[in-house]
Amino acid sequence: MSNELKKRIITSVFLFAILFLSISINKVIFTFTIFIASAVCFHEWNDINIPYFFKKKKKVMLFIQLLGLVYLFIFFISSLAIYNSIGEFFLIFILFVCACSDIGGYIFGRSIGGKKLTKISPNKTIAGSIGSFILSLVPLLLLNFQSYFVLNFNLSLKNILFCLIISLCCQLGDLTISYFKRLNKVKNTGNILPGHGGLLDRIDGIIFALPVTYILKLLQIF
């Protein structure tokens, strides 16, 4: 296991533990945690876009800032809505799916390599994308073979498809942030997380996945 992968896994576990504790303690702590995460991500979003838009297209910069603010607000509201209306265990499950999808993409992409997925992010490969989909099913498999938690997801085609959609959202979120990083010629959104860079680098997929999850549940599609 490479040092970078170790750092990535340790950072993922650390962040997951913080989220798990904030979800488990009470609503106030969880709300505060998500608010701080959203604020940090908005700061990093502005930082990565200033080099290109502020210097070359100042009029567009306001729109870019507003875009980031609106979407992070949607992420904030969706997180609280899932917590309040669907439940804590379900929220933890979605975060677990996102984490497994991210790790799967990294492991498969680095170990197999192969054809690039898109020009937006040269490090993303088709193998990595497939790995993200495959490992996103791990939480479903674990829940299917247990009887200790309130949340019980059976291994059905519907639930498999649900996990794959969450993984797709995570990958699209990753690619979207990668596009803006590439446009602004920056490697990371920040440097506060070892093995990841900025907080936005780590939760870019989650920011996309939670709103989509809430919409799917609200419309009773899944």
Pairs from 119-125 (Cβ < 8 Å, separation ≥ 24): 120/175, 120/178, 120/179, 120/182, 121/174, 121/175, 121/178, 121/179, 121/182, 124/174, 124/175, 124/178
Q: Is 198 left (phi over 0), alpha (psi -120 to 50) or beta?
A: beta
Q: Interior CA angle at 206 toward 9 and 157, to 5°?
A: 95
User: CB under 8 Å to 191, separation ≥6 — which residues?
Assistant: 197, 198
pLDDT exceeds cutoff 80 at 30? yes
User: CB under 8 Å to 143, separation ≥6 — which residues?
Assistant: 93, 149, 151, 152, 153
**What percentage of the chain carries pLDDT values higher than 90?**
37
Confidence (pLDDT) at 196 = 65
- Cα–Cα distance measured from residue 42 to residue 13, given in angstroms and rounded to the nearest whole number: 23
- Tokens matching residue 27: 């609503």
The one-letter amino acid at 11: T
pTM: 0.86
- Of 49-58, 83-92, 177-186, the one with minimum mean pLDDT is 49-58
pLDDT tens per residue across span 122-164: 778 888 899 999 999 998 888 776 554 555 567 788 889 999 9
pLDDT exceeds cutoff 90 at 36? yes
| Confidence category of residue 190, pLDDT binned at 50, 70, 90 | confident
